[in-house]
Chain A
Amino acid sequence: MAGYEGKSFKWVGTRPVRPDGVDKVTGRATYGADMNLPGQLTGRILRSPHAHAKILSIDTSKAEKLKGVKAVVTSKDFPQMHRGVLPGDEGVNFHYLSSNIMARDKVLYDGHAVAAVAATSAAIAEEALALIDVKYEVLPHVIDVDDAMKPGAPLLHDDVFTTGVNPKPDKPSNIVQRVHMALGDAEAAFKDADIVIERSFKSKAVHQGYIEPHAVVAEWSEDGQCRIWCSSQGHFMVRALTSRLLNMEAAQIRVMPAEIGGGFGGKTIVFIEPTAVLLARKASLPVRIVMSRDEVFRATGPAPGSSMDVKIGAKKDGTLVAAVGEFRFQAGAFPGSPVGPACMAAFGPYALANVTSAGYEAVTNRPLCYSYRAPGAPLSSFAVESVIDEIAQKLNIDPMEMRIKNGSKEGTQMVYGPKLKAVGNLECLKAIQNHPINKIPLGPNQGRGLAAGFWFNLGGQSSAVVNIAEDGTANIMTGSPDIGGSRASMALMAAEVLGIDYSKVRPIVGDTSSVGFCEITHGSRVTFATGMAIIQAAEDVVLQCRQRVAAMWEVDVDAVKWEDGHACPAGANAGDQKPLSLAKIAAKASRTGGPLVGSAAINAGGAGPAFGVHICDVEVDPETGGVTVLRYVAAQDAGKAIHPSYVEGQIQGGVAQGIGWALNEEYIYGADGRLQNSGFLDYRIPVASDLPMIDALILEVPNPGHPFGVRGVGEVPIVPPLAAIANAIARATGARMMDLPMSPPKILAAIDAKK
């Protein structure tokens, strides 16, 4: 794309203070739960205590009579949705989505919503919940994915028929789909291998663990218009799903993006917004629903647990000859696990001529499994990278040399079909190879682990507006929620194109009625795709400025060029004109055609895949099995880092989440199918004292699909840590851990088994 190759940047790549920063260090920033409208009611949701049960009856009459209760809703208040996926719904099954938000005939997991109330105080709302009488017929449940796939397992749905198999099954099953992709003939190629290692892996469900619980305020007005304030990864998504679920027109709903206190994929779908709208409509008053932490764990969209088999064959010199993976993912109570992307990403860091990647997804009596940072990839990579490491150990070759020897690069065909364009896998491997960490001697019970990871990165639809004020300062607006500093990136890119100071650009996130559609903030797309929209909108302003100056100077537009925030004569044919600043052009805007407004609305293709390579040192306490992470280095190809501090932050944050996934975090269910650790005390995410400094190395192999070379950066850093930690533990103890999390009792048992 035009004009920026080889250009030195003035703003892009610098580290200024983020535009929304002061509000966030002073407590002024408004998050979902901070909204407080006059007359606002408190909404609370009654949830199932059973993992699987038929709802025989719901009696809300006592709750409705309680003083202070203004509305009660159940699934009867939600419009019936078509069963199955309709064309144009982009794969969303609205019957399932609606049934997840409010259970219809059955509850499918502990925590499944069955009714909701709105009352004048939290205390009254809770009292009302206790007055709702739900009669259940408890059914057998299934929690584990392998159990759910067995014939005779308790069946969750009568309309799930396994797809991807032939012939089409005539009986419903918990198995939602079979995914299968292959290059060459892996089974035949294993014959050429000197060593073949086949291992089975298990993992538990984990939660994104954003610190801000889901929160929404909904207001309904008598003319049928509705306003929603909520924290989400996409307020346009909230509008689209809410309007569809409640049979409303999209333009009836205006969604205001609150600041979002973390999402990591968990806020890319609605859980409580439609319920809040129904309560507000019934009560004719605004309603706020804020989830408790218990509800967040029990009833949002954690990442699936898994069961996986990986078999890899190699020559004595470490050349990989064949690989097969089968990845079985829990789907939660409704279909939607990321098993497809898991299959696609599993072998991403390797050039393999013979590889098969297959997956199954099965519904279980758990909350809906949904997206979590690089969805699917951390699990399948954990299995693959563990086996690769074991092969290197058995062949007694350097795991780094083995990865470089087999590393995917430009032109490598991926198991899902296409070939890679310019990518930074080998660059990341070499950056880690040359890092001083390799020279630090390890002590007793210490081990060093290496792992690589891959993620596609996404593009998609984004809109942006650049408004030039009368003094030449700029207000820029997009519809992409700022989840970790993207306002700063947007302002940097606009400043770069406009050629004005970063401080003169003020970015905002517009609501659904103020700016054009933007897809959710996910898949590492915002700096890439919404950034591209900002660049084009700013370029639109620059073109308009050149046109207006050309008119002033009475020359052709080509005779005016844009340089450092000024319109300048492009050559002698423009005459002897003094450069005109954006401020001067803006001051004259009323006389040259009116306001200077640039806009862009795009569906961005060209997203560039990201690779990350991580190395870490751990120490395992042989008495307790406890693991201390001593050192951690992560190299990643960012394409072009717009604001390097926030790129480092994405890498460090992804690593920390990956370490938690590796060592501590797990959903623990009792025999009764109820979640036993729905709080931060028992679901332990890493705290400051658990972690070392995380050295983030940014590499820049430009993405040919973006004007500045940007790739997404947010997803891939969570992919390598699971295996990096497991590989370090294997080298520290001699015990290979194949069951996540690698908690102290499991490690201790593995060490004892080796004795």
Chain B
Amino acid sequence: MSKFHISTTVNGEAVEYLCDPKQTLLDVLRDELNLTGSKEGCSSGDCGACSVTLDGRLVCSCLVLGVEMQGRSVETIENMTSDEKLHPLQQKFLEAAALQCGFCTPGFLVAAKALLEKNPNPTESEARYWLAENLCRCTGYDKIIRAVLETAADMRGSK
């Protein structure tokens, strides 16, 4: 099976890769580009551990094919920090102990960031439904939801 040559943008950088038609975007990120922050929990779009934004929209990277990426732009957890500083969500997750094993954490952070960009003032219920796409088995979600709501409040306050 011959591979496809794809030119795309990953975390703001122009990237080229070869991929076979069966490889998902998640496979490409992890195995071809060594961006292993996005995790594989199910490969069926049910757990959200592989959440990335594709042209600004939150998606499961396991449900996108590598060959679909021509001319598009993806952002991953690896792009969440800037100028050596953690994103406020990352900082709050640390302070609020909103992670235990940490495996779902990149997906939650990418999804929560997408939420706050769309809705800077979510209710608890809105946050819970938005993040219902992301599974966590360690925390019972309590500290995650609190961290997201507190970060939203902090970010509104600092504007």
Contact = CB atoms under 8 A, between A and B. Distances in A.
Asked if chains A and B are in direct contact (CB within 8 A), the reply is: yes
Contacts of B46: 293, 679-681
Contacts of A264: 137
B40 A290 contact: yes
Contact of A211 (B22, B47, B141): B47
Contacts of A626: none
A18 B90 CA distance: 13
Interface of B: 1, 20, 22, 27, 30-31, 34-44, 46-47, 49, 76-78, 80-81, 86, 90, 93-97, 99-106, 109, 124-125, 127-129, 131-146
A212 B135 contact: no
24 contacts: A18-B94, A18-B97, A22-B94, A25-B86, A26-B37, A34-B30, A36-B36, A123-B22, A208-B137, A210-B103, A261-B39, A262-B103, A645-B96, A649-B143, A654-B140, A656-B137, A656-B139, A679-B42, A686-B140, A687-B131, A688-B127, A689-B129, A693-B142, A693-B145
A292 B47 CA distance: 13
Contacts, number: 196
10 smallest CB-CB distances across A and B, nearest first, come from: A27-B37, A261-B103, A24-B102, A656-B140, A652-B140, A645-B97, A484-B100, A680-B46, A27-B77, A34-B36
A15, A31, A657, most chain B CB atoms within 10 A: A31
A483 B101 contact: yes
Contact of B102 (A29, A685, A691): A29
B37 A28 contact: yes
A484 B101 contact: yes
Nearest to A643: B97
A625 to B, nearest CB: 21
Interface residues of chain B: helix, strand, loop or mixed (majority): loop
Contacts of A654: 140
Nearest to A654: B140
A421 B144 CA distance: 36
Contact of A679 (B31, B44, B125): B44
B94 A26 contact: no
A691 B97 contact: no
Contacts of A687: 131-135, 141
A21 interface: yes
B77 A680 contact: no
B137 A645 contact: no
A569 interface: no
Contacts of A696: 142
Contact of B137 (A31, A648, A685): A685
B122 to A, nearest CB: 12
Interface in A23-59: 23-31, 33-34, 36
Interface residues of chain A: helix, strand, loop or mixed (majority): loop
Given A27-B35, A27-B76, A646-B97, 11 more contacts: A22-B94, A26-B37, A211-B41, A290-B40, A293-B46, A483-B100, A485-B97, A653-B139, A687-B131, A687-B134, A688-B132
Contacts of B22: 122-123
A24, A652, A693, most chain B CB atoms within 10 A: A24
B141 A691 contact: yes
Contacts of A24: 99, 102, 105
A17 interface: yes
Given A15-B97, A27-B36, A262-B103, A653 B20 contact: no
A212 B141 contact: no
B49 to A, nearest CB: 6
A264 B97 CA distance: 19
Contacts of B132: 687-690
B143 A652 contact: yes
Contacts of A483: 100-101
B46, B100, B102, B106, most chain A CB atoms within 10 A: B102
A40 to B, nearest CB: 10
B47 A36 contact: no
A620 interface: no
A713 B87 CA distance: 31
Nearest to B44: A679
B100 A653 contact: yes
A751 to B, nearest CB: 27
Contacts of A34: 30, 36
A17 B96 CA distance: 8
A262 B136 CA distance: 9
A25, A262, A292, A689, most chain B CB atoms within 10 A: A25
Contact of A655 (B95, B99, B140): B140
A723 interface: no
A198 B100 CA distance: 40
A161 B135 CA distance: 42
A217 B132 CA distance: 32
Nearest to B136: A211
A36 B39 contact: no
Contacts of B100: 262, 483-485, 646, 649-650, 653
Nearest to B145: A688
A129 to B, nearest CB: 14
A680 B101 CA distance: 19
Given A27-B38, A261-B39, A645 B143 contact: yes
Interface in A606-664: 643, 645-646, 648-650, 652-657
